[in-house]
Structure 1
């Protein structure tokens, strides 16, 4: 048994499934340290981000990432530049030694004049890891007290402060006071704080769309109300016109729903990530201040409720339009049935007239054909009389009339009966 090897055939996706749990390892972060992270939207596709990263790597003499890479890291100055690709954005992370005071300039960094932004900036963060000391007083002097969040995390092993406002560089500043964290612990805490700021910004992207769609939905609701009021009195007379109007409104609702489907779904997912990250922080409030979790929940929750409200209103108005369309179509169908009934009645009358005309024509045709046949019989009888036959041709012609008429009438009836049977 000791020599047996577990060389079994592996499932096709086993390696990928096992590797996914290690796809985003926390960086080991020393202290003190200042960390910058920028998040750029995939405006022009992932290829633009890959190209920008490859050019930056070549300029530093580093091997560029492979084409389908989702993670990449390379040394840059006194720190490491880390890149990660997400669904609709990419993050650029760089760390370096802290300056003399909290918030002071870092003169050299990867995002200077030689850096080409691969897309529009959605999130920018400056996070400083410092030991207990003057940094706390400096941060309290810089941060806006109206939105200052100040709490203890990791059972008192660290203190975090931020006001979620942007400095002169457009970056959200966060201060972490290290009171004995390990490198892995610092890395985990830093990643969670970076995720909270990035994803809370992305979650809020749904709010402007919801606000713009809210006015559109209100207009559609008003127009639908007006149409349904008209349906009480003018439904049958204007059913076609009202159906066209409702169809136009329905197309607008569906177009708006298709436009917002991804954005609202993404906002909901990002909001869930923020809630999960803030919960894992395990914050303990500092007396007189608010925690990050409570501050964000008070501001994110109403925005997410607005998005959900717009989604619900879209679904509700879509159902109302569907019911109104069904009602109008039923009235139109009834009207079409009535018109079809009138048309069938008219066709029936025409068929009866045609039948009568046909019967008249048949009578005339019997008389006409009989006339010609009797004429032929008369010619035959006259010829026979001249040849010495013992009868007068007029007598033969007279006797032949009823028989010829009867024969022609019987023949026409047979032909009509045969046609009727073929029609069945």
Structure 2
């Protein structure tokens, strides 16, 4: 096929599947891992700062500079094999070296990442892990004295992984040097690829565990906000049943609460969504290790169930509570709008009744004015006619008073009839105009 017939993203999407292969490691070896995340709006960060920080590290060790648009990078930094990856919210640095330090988990093993270089990172260090990989002795119980020396017993998890091909141990605590420690003991016949996958899965487990735990901090902040808004919302809903406060005032108070809840949802929705995604990755990494119990010790799944999952449930509970309060606010708004509509309908009906009364009064007043106008017009008409007919009345020997008395009822009837005709004509004209 011609290149024009290929989807423009086909090759880049396929290459993404092979962009981050697991390292190939041979025991004994040491892995040092760091993850940096900017405190706020990390997903929209300036990624050129990340590559610039990586370039500085490469320059210190005399390694080639990375591509400024790259999302991953690998190079040899002295005796360390470096792997760098850029993720949605964070960047990771992993350095692998053969052999073990003379002192277990010696901070000097992390010399590939200088302290001043770490302090100059564009983000803050979120994860720091040191993993020591050693060969499993023929009697696995021989590792117990080392584990008791290296880790805190109350939180130590020790398990067989990948069909008892290796033992993984860690207490998920931060040592005085700032690193979280893991020890891996692999059988001598295990290949470099499987060892690398175990290390990679442990690093990813700890990284995404730390990222998902950020949701717990947000959940605590949100819970404090909801604790302050919940009584206000309850008071508004309860006050809706009484007539002590106008609906407009109640609506304004409800809008204030609703706006704060919507702002909280906008601020926390991304973090809660990311927390759920990271939690799914953590659980997947634990599952693919295919752990089994080692000499009655605590398993990773048990540690997660006791220490990790409650934090995730707290974050989920805060998210659900926020959504429930948003739903309550929406329902309260609908009820309040219904109440306002009913009150306005009653007001409109009262206005219509008042208008009807005013129209009735105007009609009565109009009839009164019409009656007065008949007499007024008749008065002047009688006067004019009497002046015109008075000469004839003298010839007929009719007195003026008798003439006026005779004209008055005739003129009143004539005026009344004329006004009625005029009103009927106007009414007919209005009716015909409305029809057209």
TM-score when normalising by structure 1: 0.82
Structure 2 counterpart of 1:118: 122
Structure 1 counterpart of 2:197: 188
Cα RMSD of the aligned pairs, angstroms, is 3.5
The Cα shift of 1:84 comes to: 0.7
1:101 and 2:109 are equivalent in the alignment: no
Whether the 8 Å contact between 1:42 and 1:49 is mirrored in structure 2 is no
Summarize the Cα distance change of 1:136–1:33 in structure 2 as closer, same or farther, 3 Å threshold. Answer: farther
Instruction: Give SS of 1:164's match.
Output: strand
Whether the 8 Å contact between 1:70 and 1:84 is mirrored in structure 2 is yes
Whether the 8 Å contact between 1:149 and 1:289 is mirrored in structure 2 is yes
The Cα shift of 1:16 comes to: 3.7
Q: How many residues align?
A: 409
TM-score when normalising by structure 2: 0.80
Instruction: Give SS of 2:275's match.
Output: helix
Instruction: Give SS of 2:52's match.
Output: helix
> 2: distance between equivalents of 1:213 and 1:64?
43
Summarize the Cα distance change of 1:345–1:106 in structure 2 as closer, same or farther, 3 Å threshold. Answer: same
1:33 and 2:29 are equivalent in the alignment: yes
Structure 1 counterpart of 2:312: 304
Whether the 8 Å contact between 1:206 and 1:307 is mirrored in structure 2 is yes
> 1: distance between equivalents of 2:105 and 2:429?
106
Counterpart among 3, 17, 20 of residue 21 in structure 1: 17
| CA displacement, residues 330-351 of structure 1 (integer Å, 9 cap, x when unaligned) | 3332222111111110011112
Counterpart among 7, 10, 17 of residue 6 in structure 2: 10
Gaps of 5+ in 1: 386-393
> 1: distance between equivalents of 2:275 and 2:23?
27
Structure 1 counterpart of 2:284: 276
> 2: distance between equivalents of 1:86 and 1:77?
26
Counterpart among 389, 410, 418 of residue 421 in structure 2: 410
Whether the 8 Å contact between 2:136 and 2:166 is mirrored in structure 1 is no
The Cα shift of 1:267 comes to: 1.5
> 2: distance between equivalents of 1:364 and 1:283?
109
1:139-158 map, 5 Å: 139-158=147-166
Instruction: Give SS of 1:146's match.
Output: helix
> 1: distance between equivalents of 2:360 and 2:271?
66
1:131 and 2:135 are equivalent in the alignment: yes
Q: Which structure's residues are more often helix, by fraction?
A: 2
Whether the 8 Å contact between 1:83 and 1:92 is mirrored in structure 2 is yes
The Cα shift of 1:407 comes to: 4.6
> 2: distance between equivalents of 1:339 and 1:13?
64
Structure 2 counterpart of 1:355: 363
Summarize the Cα distance change of 1:183–1:343 in structure 2 as closer, same or farther, 3 Å threshold. Answer: same
| CA displacement, residues 123-144 of structure 1 (integer Å, 9 cap, x when unaligned) | 1111122234798744531211
Summarize the Cα distance change of 1:283–1:358 in structure 2 as closer, same or farther, 3 Å threshold. Answer: same
Whether the 8 Å contact between 2:377 and 2:415 is mirrored in structure 1 is no
The Cα shift of 1:39 comes to: 0.8
Summarize the Cα distance change of 1:33–1:136 in structure 2 as closer, same or farther, 3 Å threshold. Answer: farther
Structure 2 counterpart of 1:202: 211
Instruction: Give SS of 1:84's match.
Output: strand
> 1: distance between equivalents of 2:367 and 2:415?
19
